[in-house]
């Protein structure tokens, strides 16, 4: 009976199909979703048939039945899309494709990455360089970029310097989130695991207004790998070890993506090093223990998408024991003699003084595309940064309590719309709202360096880019930011009067009857900042590109510059802020001319001038003896300044297998009025590298690098302090730079295929090959000890 029923159904179905008239026609266009431009040579596939659009993007499909069809529409550089259409109801249909691939495009290794701006000086380091620095810091890797150096506290606390500027003048974007991690401290390194990044771009200056208007020094943009819209699973694991510090790191990342647009990414890092060593002795208490984890998931559809991202970062860092001094004469002897007072045997233990920093970051983002209009993106992010600084204190129990305990909580909401439907011009506008709260734990038993405060930020921006012709791009933008900081700050009566605050700020006193000869104040400051940029990019003669940019930027003072009042333990100095400090205003002009011919080589020269009104600097003025020892006193002040410099690089392909790279950076920073040199300006440096590659030999790459750092001959005057032992004033060489030095570095790498898709990479590097004894002017521990000696590094990476 069942067989008979089945036969009848088949016969009936065949009769109906044969009777059906398949005379329907479907017409329309395949169109770029952004600007409505027709896409020629797009393909439409169905039932093993393929139709190709004409030069106007038009198509015609005949002999269709009045049923539903699934059409697969494709185009070069586009994501294929499947559209289901009921031909009994529709006879005309336009198909829209994402031709720009904004959501899926990877940053290219070859240098063809998408620029963040059109007219600014900028440069990108790719995932190959990041992998080479997997057991180091972000600041170390960024020094691969011409014009970028670092302000170090030892070898583990590394802050980027861009064309002479650092700290709050540099804005850092971590996967779309502006980092809020107390960047104001000279020894506060970025709370970012470098292994999160797939690429890092440095924009030299404040022209990237989308990210902020206060980036007088520049913007560092960290981007993760992007998940493709297809069913795939891939990842990477990197294991590295080094002899100097006798430790290593393990990092791994995994991405799972689906054709539906869903994706999941996870990443984790573990680093552990003991005391590092100079050529002649151990640098005691310089170990590090770092842990990092990140995860993201989301949906990346054709016209809309969302994603959630979370990262955790924890770092325990030892501070060189010899940098904490017991009395004024020991400080004089240590700085002027250059020999560390404390040298112990190697250990993995991290004792006081030390830092422990924990950073949580969470972000939720949503985007929506609108036909022939553009893309809207909105985002909320949350950050919690906890900084603990442990000092050498009088008892063992007190040493367990941090001398500084700061908790910074930040909530941010951003939204922007990018109008990119016209191929000639693009506009972007957006807004920012941020609330931040700092809590300084009063239970440390130590006077708080930074007070409790609430900070409110709001900003709006508008940028435009216009393609005048195929060779010339014009860009411009304007941004307004409002900042308010509302603090609760205790002052000693003696400090309040010594600074003259009793005359200028008597109206902010809340309570004058505080135990311990103190008074409570409530300073509230409002800042209105305007930033703008205008520039041009001109390409000519195929291989040449010229860029010009002018950027106006204003930066409100940070809490440290306003409120610092006491011993900054991990910096080993007393810091004094100033309530009178006002915002900085920068006028920067930058030029660049480059030639890039992949056959023989290329070059770039990029001069710049940065004139800064009310430049805020921190400088040593005296020494002070406290119950915890003798420390230099550093004080903030303002002056007009100018920074003039040039970055230059050349590379040459001498042979199929041989290439040389040459980079040079020079910046001169002076006060405008008396021409006195600014503090912490990088010395000129000249890097040369020769590289041999042989693809046939397992992709062998061998390089030898020469780094020459000149002596900084322009520096502020030293200070005079009183020596109790000699009973007279002596000069403390706190500003005198060390001598010039030359380093040699070696690196080699080979790659093996495992199966058809997986690769295994082996790398060996030797830093400071000649074991040179040297001191870096921008290392704050140069007062007490030499820099790192020879270091052998082995790395193994597996791509799967």
**pLDDT tens digits for 232-260?**
999 999 999 999 999 999 999 999 999 88
> What CA–CA distance (Å, rounded) separates 534 from 286?
45
Q: How many CB atoms lie within 10 A of CB 715?
A: 18
What residues contact 84, with CB distance under 8 A and at least 6 apart?
A: 68, 69, 70, 71
Which two three-digit tokens encode residue 509?
């006193």
**Tokens 């040579």 correspond to what residue?**
41
Asked whether the beta carbons of 785 and 747 are under 8 A apart, the reply is no
Asked whether the bond before 426 is cis by omega within 30 degrees of 0, the reply is no
Report how far residue 753's alpha carbon sits from residue 235's, in angstroms, rounded to the nearest whole number.
15
Cβ neighbors of 19 (< 8 A, separation 6 or more) are none
pLDDT of residue 329: 76
Query: Which of helix, strand or coil describes residue 769?
Result: coil
CA distance 627 to 446: 11
- Residues with pLDDT less than 50, the chain: 1-19, 100-113
CA 502, 507, 508, 510 torsion-angle sign:
positive
- Report the pLDDT value the prediction gives residue 466, as an integer from 0 to 100: 94
What letter would DSSP give residue 421? -
Question: What pLDDT does 685 receive?
Answer: 97
In terms of DSSP H, where are the helices of 404-508?
Answer: 493-498, 501-504
> How far is 333 from 422, CA to CA, in rounded Å?
67
The continuous run of DSSP H or E covering 669 comes out as strand 658-671
Residue 528's alpha-carbon distances to 55, 210, 253, in angstroms, are: 53, 17, 42
pLDDT at 570: 59
How many Å apart are CA 96 and CA 53, to the nearest integer? 13
Regarding pTM above 0.75, the answer is yes
Distance between CA atoms of residues 637 and 614, nearest Å: 9
- What one-character-per-residue DSSP string does 79-94 give? --EEEEEETTT-SB--
With beta carbons less than 8 A apart as the criterion, state whether 776 and 787 touch: yes
With H, G, I as helix, E, B as strand and everything else as coil, classify residue 687: strand
Beta-carbon contacts of residue 273 (< 8 Å; ≥ 6 apart): 156, 242, 245, 246, 247, 248, 287, 288, 289, 348
**How confident is the model at residue 10, as a pLDDT?**
41
The total of other beta-carbon atoms located within 10 Å of residue 125's CB is 21
Q: Where are the alpha helices (DSSP H) in 484-598?
A: 493-498, 501-504, 559-563
Compute the distance between CA of residue 443 and CA of residue 451 in angstroms, rounded to an integer: 13
């Amino acid at each position: 009976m069942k067989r008979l029923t089945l036969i009848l159904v088949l016969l009936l179905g065949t009769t109906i199909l044969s009777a059906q008239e398949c005379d329907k026609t479907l017409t329309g266009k395949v169109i770029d979703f952004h600007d409505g431009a027709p896409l020629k040579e797009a393909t439409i596939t169905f039932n093993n048939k393929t139709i190709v659009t004409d030069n106007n993007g038009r198509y015609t499909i005949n002999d269709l039945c009045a049923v539903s069809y699934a059409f697969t529409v494709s185009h070069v550089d586009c994501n294929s899309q499947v559209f289901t259409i009921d031909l009994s109801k529709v006879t005309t249909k336009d198909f829209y494709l994402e031709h720009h691939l904004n959501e899926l495009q990877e940053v290219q290794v070859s240098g063809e990455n998408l620029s963040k701006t059109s007219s600014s000086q900028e440069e990108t380091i790719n995932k190959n360089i990041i992998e080479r620095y997997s057991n180091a810091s972000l600041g170390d890797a960024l020094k691969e970029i011409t014009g970028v150096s670092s302000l170090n506290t030892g070898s583990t606390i590394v802050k980027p310097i861009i064309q002479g500027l650092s700290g709050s003048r540099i804005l850092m974007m971590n996967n779309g989130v502006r980092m809020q991690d107390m960047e104001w401290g000279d020894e506060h390194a970025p709370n970012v695991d470098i292994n999160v990044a797939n690429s890092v771009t440095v924009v030299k200056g404040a022209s990237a207004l989308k990210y902020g208007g206060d980036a007088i020094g520049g913007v560092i943009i960290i981007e993760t790998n992007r998940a493709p819209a297809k069913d795939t699973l891939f990842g990477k694991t990197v294991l590295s070890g080094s002899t100097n510090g006798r430790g290593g790191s393990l990092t791994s990342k995994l991405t799972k993506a689906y054709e539906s647009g869903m994706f999941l990414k996870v990443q984790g890092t573990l680093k552990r090093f003991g005391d590092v060593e100079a050529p002649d002795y151990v640098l005691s208490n310089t170990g590090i223990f770092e842990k990092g984890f990140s995860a993201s998931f989301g949906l990346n559809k054709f016209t809309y998408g969302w994603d959630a991202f979370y990262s955790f970062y924890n770092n325990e860092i030892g501070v060189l024991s010899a940098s904490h001094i017991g009395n004024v004469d020991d400080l004089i002897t240590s700085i002027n003699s250059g020999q560390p007072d404390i040298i112990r045997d190697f250990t993995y233990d991290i004792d006081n003084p030390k830092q422990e920093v924990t950073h949580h970051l969470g972000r939720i983002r949503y985007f929506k595309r609108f036909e022939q209009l553009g893309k809207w993106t909105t985002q909320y992010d949350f950050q919690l940064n906890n900084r603990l600084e442990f000092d050498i204190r009088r008892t063992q129990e007190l040493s367990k309590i941090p001398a500084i305990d700061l908790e910074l909580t930040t909530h941010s909401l951003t939204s922007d719309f990018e109008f990119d439907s016209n191929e000639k011009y693009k506009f972007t506008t957006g807004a920012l709202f941020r609330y931040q709260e700092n809590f300084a734990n009063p239970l440390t038993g130590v006077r708080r360096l930074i007070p409790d405060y609430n900070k409110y930020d709001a900003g709006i921006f508008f940028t435009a880019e216009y393609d005048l012709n195929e060779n010339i791009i014009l860009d411009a933008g304007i941004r307004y930011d409002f900042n308010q900081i509302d603090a609760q700050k205790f002052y000693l009566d003696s400090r309040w009067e010594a600074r003259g605050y009793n005359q200028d700020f008597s109206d902010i006193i809340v309570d004058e009857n505080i135990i311990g000869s103190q008074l409570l104040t409530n300073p509230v400051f409002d800042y209105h900042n305007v930033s703008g940029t205008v520039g041009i990019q001109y390409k000519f003669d195929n291989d040449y590109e010229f860029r010009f940019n002018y950027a106006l930027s204003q930066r409100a003072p940070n809490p440290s510059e306003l409120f610092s009042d006491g011993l900054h333990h991990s910096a080993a100095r007393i810091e004094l802020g100033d309530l009178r400090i006002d915002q900085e205003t920068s006028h920067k002009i930058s030029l660049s001319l480059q030639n890039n011919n992949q056959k023989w080589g290329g070059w770039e020269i990029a001069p710049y001038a940065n004139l800064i009104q009310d430049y805020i600097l921190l400088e040593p003025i005296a020494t002070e003896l406290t119950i915890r020892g003798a420390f230099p006193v550093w004080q903030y002040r303002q002056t007009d300044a100018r920074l003039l410099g040039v970055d230059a690089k050349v590379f040459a392909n001498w042979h199929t297998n041989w290439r040389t790279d040459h980079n040079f950076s020079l910046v001169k920073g002076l006060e405008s009025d008396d021409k006195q040199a600014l503090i912490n300006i990088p010395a000129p440096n000249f890097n040369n590298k020769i590289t041999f590659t042989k693809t046939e030999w397992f992709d062998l790459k061998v390089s030898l690098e020469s780094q020459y750092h000149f002596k900084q001959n322009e520096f502020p005057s030293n200070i005079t302090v009183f020596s109790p032992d000699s009973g007279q004033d002596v000069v403390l060489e706190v500003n005198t730079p060390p001598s010039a030095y030359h380093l040699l570095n070696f690196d080699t790498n080979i790659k093996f295929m495992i199966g058809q898709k997986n690769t295994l990479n082996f790398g060996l590097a030797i830093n400071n090959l000649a074991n040179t004894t040297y001191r870096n002017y921008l290392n704050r521990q140069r007062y007490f000890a030499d820099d790192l000696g020879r270091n052998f590094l082995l790395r193994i990476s597996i791509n799967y």
